[in-house]
Amino acid sequence: MVGTSRDASLPVGRAEIVKALATCRWALVGIAILSGVLNILFLTGSFYMLEVYDRVLPSGSIPTLVGLAVIVTILYGFQGIVDMIRGRLLARIGTAVDSQLSGRALQAITRLPLTATGIDSTQPSRDLDIVRNFLAGPGPTALFDLPWIPFYLTICFAFHQAIGWAATIGGLVLVVIALCTEIMSRKPVEAAYTLGRQRGMLSDTFRRNAEVLRAMGMEARVGQSWTEVNDKLAAAQQRCADLNAGLGAISKVTRMLLQSAVLTVGAYLVINGQATGGIIIASSILSARALAPVELAIGQWRPFIATRASWKRLSNVLQNLPLPTAPLDLPPPSRTLSIENLSVAPPAVRVPFVRDATFRVKAGDGLGIIGQSASGKSTLIRAIVGVWAPMNGAVRLDGAAIDQWSADRLGAHIGYLPQELQLFPGTVAQNIARFDPSATPEEVIEAAVAAGVHEMIVRLPDGYETATGENGLALSVGQRQRIGLARALFRKPFLVVLDEPNSNLDADGEAALTNALAGVRLRGGIVIVVAHRPSALIAMNLVLVMANGRVQAFGDKDDILGRVLSPASVAPPPASPAVSDGRPYSQQRGLQNSQAGSA
pLDDT digits (tens, 9 = 90+) for 23-57: 888 888 999 999 999 989 988 888 888 888 888 88
- Under DSSP, is residue 382 helix (H, G, I), strand (E, B) or coil? helix
If we measure between CA atoms, which residue out of 230, 239, 126 comes closest to residue 187?
239
Q: What is the pLDDT of residue 590?
A: 42
Q: What is the pLDDT of residue 459?
A: 93
For 404, other C-beta atoms within 10 Å of its C-beta total: 14
CA-based max dimension of the chain = 122
Q: What is the pLDDT of residue 12?
A: 57
Q: What is the pLDDT of residue 505?
A: 86
Q: How far apart are CA 244 and CA 4, in angstroms?
A: 37
Q: What is the pLDDT of residue 526?
A: 97
565: CB partners within 8 A, 6+ apart: 590, 593, 594, 597
CB of 27 within 8 A of CB of 93? yes
CB of 391 within 8 A of CB of 470? no
Terminal Cα distance for the chain, rounded = 40
Sheet strand arrangement including 542-547: 414-417, 495-499, 526-530, 366-371, 542-547, 550-556
b/e 112-125 (16+ beta carbons within 10 angstroms → b): beeeeeebbbbbbb
pTM of the predicted structure, to 2 decimals: 0.72
Q: Number of C-alpha atoms within 13 angstroms, CB side, residue 565?
A: 19
Average pLDDT for runs of 10 along the chain of length 599? 44 72 88 91 86 84 90 93 92 89 84 72 84 87 86 86 85 80 78 82 77 77 82 85 79 79 84 81 81 77 82 84 77 95 90 95 96 92 93 95 88 93 90 94 96 94 89 80 95 96 87 94 96 86 94 93 61 38 39 38
Q: What is the pLDDT of residue 250?
A: 80
Backbone φ and ψ for 368, nearest 5 degrees, come out as -100, 130
Q: What is the pLDDT of residue 14?
A: 64
Q: What is the pLDDT of residue 208?
A: 72
Backbone φ and ψ for 546, nearest 5 degrees, come out as -110, 145
Can you name the residues that pair with 499 across neighbouring β-strands?
530
Q: What is the pLDDT of residue 566?
A: 56
Instruction: Give the architecture (CATH level 2) of 12-112+120-319.
Output: Up-down Bundle (1.20)
Q: CA-CA distances (angstroms) from residue 472 to 206, 408, 486?
A: 18, 24, 15
243: CB partners within 8 A, 6+ apart: 181, 184, 185, 188
Q: What share of the chain is helix, strand, coil (3-state, %, to 5)?
A: 65, 10, 25
Instruction: Please provide the DSSP assignment of 207-275 as one string.
Output: HHTHHHHHHTT-HHHHHHHHHHHHHHHHHHHHHHHHHHHHHHHHHHHHHHHHHHHHHHHHHHHHHTTSS
Q: Number of C-alpha atoms within 13 angstroms, CB side, residue 355?
A: 10
- Under DSSP, is residue 571 helix (H, G, I), strand (E, B) or coil? coil
